[in-house]
Structure 1
Amino acid sequence: MTAADTRPLTGLATDTGLPGPADVLAAAERIAPHVRHTPLLRHDTLPGLLVKAEHLQHSGSFKLRGAANAMLALGADEVVAGSSGNHGIAVATLGRMLGVRVTVVMAAGAAEAKERAIRALGGRVLRVPGGVAERDRHARDLAARTGAALVPSSDHGLVIAGQGTVGLEVFRDAPDLDAVFVPVGGGGLLAGVLLAAARLPRPVRVIGVEPERARRYARSMAAGEPVELPPSDTVADGLRGQRPGELTFPIVRRRVDDLIGVDDAAVLRAMDLLHRAGIAAEPSGAAALAGALGSGALRPGAAGRTAVVVSGGNSAAVLAAAAAR
């Protein structure tokens, strides 16, 4: 595998420079043997709400979908990924399964429990100073120097298409859905769900939810171009992206219905609600519910059916229990 083989559009059906709805369908077929079709859960404490339970996915988050699509399509024997944790766990899980050497670059503030999980799966971890932007630059440089395939956590056509399979499952399982709230970190999940929604015969509102301290998509859309924010310390550690991706930003700008911000207190309240319903979400995984609650979508008498994506459940407690097992 040469450095040229790391180009983000490898294996995509479109010639526009961006992944399209057909690529999401192709991803669903490619990754089917390796991912779990996660359920849409209902609970009495969350009336009228459907919860897409990606915390039940193999590796504990939706990140397995994009990583699997990219790694299977590229066929590399060595992979480099920048990650706050869940993408790294997903890549290391697949690396162990496929016999691929994995190096994960993590920023200084990334969760130590997630680093331990990556190492336990056989992945090599490199810590670098700075935030997400510095982490991703280091991962790109490392892949170029070593000839490894670069599998970014979000800004890669194959990764976006793989993440879009979350949306395919939601829309197939709930064909009368009116709206879906999606947490936004790097933006790969939101972009993928938007591509999946583009295939629907009826409109479904897709709302992205960003941490209030890291609203890089909302600010970039207001500016009319991607802007880079300083590192943030939000409790939603998987949503600390600093800059929209080159591929994700145009998809989000063209298709998203709304982008809303949530503060840490709202995220923690939403996580508590999910835990009381028996849904073991981590803070990043609870952000979409926080957005839905803040928007009034779940107020008494609210019309329509709403879904929220619980993107992951790799809390420190869950990872510690897994390590003990």
Structure 2
Amino acid sequence: MNVTIDTLGPADVARAAERLAGYVRRTPLLPGLASPGRLLPDCSLLLKAEHLQHGGSFKVRGAANAVLALGADRIVTGSSGNHGIALARLAAPLGVQVTVVMAAGASAAKAALIRALGGRIVSVPGGVAERDRRARELAGETGAVLVPSSDHELVVAGQGTVGAEVLAEVPDVETLYVPTGGGGLLAGVCLAAHGHRVRVVGVEPAATPRYARSLAAGRPVRLPPSDTVADGLRAQQPGTVTFPLVRDRVDDLIAVSDAEILAAAAFLRRLGIEAEPTGAVALAGALRAGRGTGRAVAIVSGGNSTAALTAAAATEPLLEEIS
């Protein structure tokens, strides 16, 4: 199915918002850089605080929308960590069994929290492509439902509620900066922004500009595995659901280096915001864009730092890892 703005739209985001009531937190918009600002003169920048979301990231939105809509009792996914955390956190109260496939180099602290929450881990060599391939195989072998971390209509619609909240609270926002890996959040924001005049800007790690390369080629392009410090944005190619949605609506893509990502994370800490490197990518893009006019919002997508994850895992009973 070739999913486009015409087949999946703002109404799907609205339905997701209704479904998610009681499962997700409506996160605040925090002051970031106000005019006159030292780093972004003549621009008022707000920060969408998804690091304060249940489970420490926006991922709970898409995960909950899929879990609640599908009604499955067994779920398999491939995840760098935050999507797996979101699914495991949701699954236990609902009696759902969750297996999370993680690639080599994935965060050990995120894997530990998934196990502590009751999820089962399968580790595979290689990168995100190998991870997702094994997740598809496991779903087929076991009869479990596959809930990808980004490339699924329900996941995308759930992530779109981030954009819908921003647009409801700041209807005059002119630019929305979105961290971009597999593209579920960017595609969801594109859905929510359909019919609005806001500029949607995806921000990718320079080491993995899969959307920039794919849009230039006119088709999804697979890149080699990446070791970018933004571990949640290591997807190697756009998905079949996410790519056309981004292609049809995104206004710009910005690439940021690991040094810029870490600098943005440090800047957030000075503002009292503890974000993981992935969570600082959108701000890094806003800083790279520099001088501008009008109001902008950057999504702080996650706060699952190693320290935060270790503390969270310590409060849960550990289960045995499977291989």
CA contact (8 A) 2:51 2:304 kept: yes
- 1:242 maps to 2:231: no
Take 2:224 and 2:7, find their aligned partners in 1: how far apart are those partners?
Answer: 27
Q: Which residue of 2 aligns with 1:4?
A: none
Quote the offset at 1:230 in angstroms.
0.5
Q: Which amino acid aligns with 1:79?
A: I
The change in CA–CA distance for 1:15 and 1:114 in structure 2 (over 3 A counts) is closer
Take 1:44 and 1:55, find their aligned partners in 2: how far apart are those partners?
Answer: 18
Deviations 1:220-271 (A, max 9, x none): 1111111100100000000001010001000111110001100000000000
Q: Specify the SS of the correspondent of 2:267.
A: helix
User: Which segments of structure 1 move beyond 2 Å, counting only runs of 4 or more?
Assistant: 14-19, 43-47, 321-325
Please, which of 297, 302, 315 is the counterpart of residue 312 of structure 1? 302
Give the alignment's TM-score, normalised by structure 2: 0.92
Take 1:321 and 1:277, find their aligned partners in 2: how far apart are those partners?
Answer: 22
1:1-325 equivalences in 2 (<5 Å): 18-43=7-32, 47=37, 48-200=44-196, 203-296=197-290, 299=291, 302-325=292-315
Q: Which sections of structure 1, spanning at least 5 residues, go unmatched? A: 1-7
Take 1:76 and 1:23, find their aligned partners in 2: how far apart are those partners?
Answer: 20
Q: Specify the SS of the correspondent of 1:106.
A: strand
Number of aligned positions between the proteins: 308
Q: Which residue of 2 aligns with 1:3?
A: none
Deviations 1:10-40 (A, max 9, x none): xxxx998942211111000001110000000
CA contact (8 A) 1:18 1:157 kept: no
Q: Which amino acid aligns with 1:303?
A: T
For the aligned residues, what is the CA RMSD?
A: 1.7
Quote the offset at 1:121 in angstroms.
0.1
Q: Specify the SS of the correspondent of 1:208.
A: strand
Take 1:75 and 1:277, find their aligned partners in 2: how far apart are those partners?
Answer: 40
Give the alignment's TM-score, normalised by structure 1: 0.92
User: Percent same amino acid among aligned pairs?
Assistant: 66
Structure of greater relative contact order (alpha carbons < 8 Å, 6+ residues apart): 2
Q: Which sections of structure 2, spanning at least 5 residues, go unmatched? A: 38-43, 316-323
Take 1:84 and 1:54, find their aligned partners in 2: how far apart are those partners?
Answer: 17
Quote the offset at 1:322 in angstroms.
2.2
